[in-house]
Amino acid sequence: MKYKELGKTGLQASVIGLGTFEIGGSSWWDPVDRRVAVNTIRNAIDLGINFVDTAPVYGFGQSEKIVGEAIQDIRESVLLCTKIGEEFSGMNEGRFHYNHDGKSVYTCLKPDAIQRQLEESLRNLKTDYIDVLMPHFFFDDPSVGQIDDIMESMFRLIHQGKIRSVGLSNVFPNHFQKFIELGQSKIACVQLYTNVLDHGLMSNDILKQAVAEGISGVGINCLAKGVLAGAFPDDYQVREGSERSESPWFHDGRIARVNQMLDSWSALRDKHGVSSASLSLAWVLAQRGISHLLTGVTNFEHVLDAARASEIELSVDELQLMTVSASALRIETVESLLEVAAAKVHAIAESGRPVAIWGGGVTLDYICRRLPLASCNIVEVFDSNPKLSGQIRFGRKIKSWAQADPIDPSTVLLVAIPKPPEELNAILKSLSIGFDSVCHLGYLKALCK
């Protein structure tokens, strides 16, 4: 196993790290036996993988508790990363993020919340310090907290000996720059979505900043939620509400297309004597600025695949072969649909017509990353979830339909609710609210992640 320093912290982490989202369970994933999960983590550590990443919201504490059980007598051998910011205790403080398994999750990074969340993680993990602590999400919203206050809290925790360094995830380039300016040498790493199918989505701006500052880029979602392991049959039916249902690769026959691509890499697999999973992980490690990666494992075979990836040296030609075939597949099956949607939104924006948006939650956040909604003349934002009422999107307070004032009949409705258009049309008819035209964007959510 190879090891590299995380940022400028002096912490030497295995280039392969364990992601424990899936081990945490909940309805996001299929059930994982707790004893198997603990043994899997122990097996990985025995193979030299010392970098373990978790978060309180993974299984609502279960992932942290499983990790804590696995490392309790070998704590000093592990570099442990966990997160703050996602609250599900029922205090409902901060910015409402989403509902899951009967819990309301809020994003809150105010000083008292950070301290409270960290103490809970320390209990779950059965340790008295965390090697890397990172905000799970950051939203530029006063209800979430200010970057200055967040970094002040982090430095206080470092001074107390409760954390050793800071990491970042789900952050925009301008926010990343401010974290860097305030964080000095204590920012160890930034997590970036990185896999051969979706590599065009990785923020090059953040990666350039990270490289310039000596901050480690850590690849996450490196197997595109498992599809790059080649373990799913062509006709696999993704379970609604699962984490994989959020990926475009599990819809509309795309698994079969991915499997065809993986088959075309058979000579490459044979040459290196590895699986599709190992090959895909090796591709991630070969990307400039990515010094480490995290990959989800639920059994010993997954651990072996991950460990083997650190030993593969892909040539320039081999990397090019993988990149070109994956890019072509994404352009044909995903980007073409997004281009059509973007063109529709551009046309609406150029028309100057008033726009109302229905769906102000996490779906809209994802869609805004890829579609130019901010260029539209947005006059109203609605959502059916009362927890979102009063929150700000596009400079407008989210309202329920019951709070709607009379709407200009020429208004265009952009629907950002993840339901099929035919189902949404039926809902709109039942509401008896007329619009000049309706554009359904919610079903594109998976494509925009």
410 CB neighbour count, 10 Å cutoff: 11
Q: Which amino acid is at 449?
A: K
Handedness of CA 328, 329, 332, 336 (dihedral sign): negative
Given a contact cutoff of 8 angstroms between Cβ atoms, the answer to whether 219 and 228 are in contact is no
Using a 10 angstrom Cβ sphere, with 0-12 exposed, 13-18 middle and 19 or more buried, the burial of residue 396 is: middle
Cα separation, 429 vs 438, in Å, equals 12
pLDDT at 87: 94
Residue 361: predicted pLDDT: 84
Q: Over the chain, what is the mean pLDDT?
A: 93
> d(Cα 413, Cα 376) in Å, to the nearest integer?
11
* Structure tokens given for 123: 């209990």
Ranges under pLDDT 50 in the chain: none
The enclosing H or E element of 372 equals none
Where would I find the H helices in 126-233? Answer: 147-160, 173-183, 204-213
Count Cβ atoms within 10 A of the Cβ of residue 193 and give its class: 0-12 exposed, 13-18 middle, 19 or more buried. Answer: middle
3-state secondary structure string across the chain: CCEEECCCCCCEEECEEEECCHHHCCCCCCCCCHHHHHHHHHHHHHCCCCEEECCCCCCCCHHHHHHHHHHCCCHHHCEEEEEECEECCCCCCCEEEEEECCEEEEECCCHHHHHHHHHHHHHHHCCCCECEEEECCCCCCCCCCCHHHHHHHHHHHHHHCCECCEEECCCCHHHHHHHHHHHHHHEEEEEEECCCCCHHHCCHHHHHHHHHHCCEEEEECCCCCCHHHCCCCCCCCCCCCCHHHHCHHHCCCHHHHHHHHHHCCHHHHHHHCCCHHHHHHHHHHCCCCEEEEEEECCCHHHHHHHHHHCCCCCCHHHHHHHHHHHHHHHHHHHHHHHHHHHHHHHHHHHHCCEEEEECCCHHHHHHHHHCCHHHCEEEEEECCCHHHCCCEECCEECECHHHCCCCCCCCEEEECCCCCHHHHHHHHHHHCCCCCEEEECHHHHHHHC
pLDDT number for residue 403? 80
Q: So what's the pLDDT on residue 362? A: 83
pLDDT of residue 404: 77
Beta-bridge partners for 117: none
Residue 36 phi/psi, 5-degree rounding, is: -65, -40
The pLDDT tens digits of the residues spanning 204-257 come to 899 999 999 999 999 999 999 999 999 999 999 999 888 898 899 999 999 999
Give 96-104 contacts, CB < 8 A, sequence gap 24+.
96/361, 96/385, 96/387, 96/388, 96/391, 97/137, 97/361, 97/362, 98/361, 98/362, 99/385, 99/387, 100/26, 100/27, 100/28, 101/26, 101/27, 101/60, 103/60, 104/387
What is the pLDDT at residue 6?
96
* DSSP H or E segment with residue 61: none
105 vs 23: CA distance, rounded Å: 19
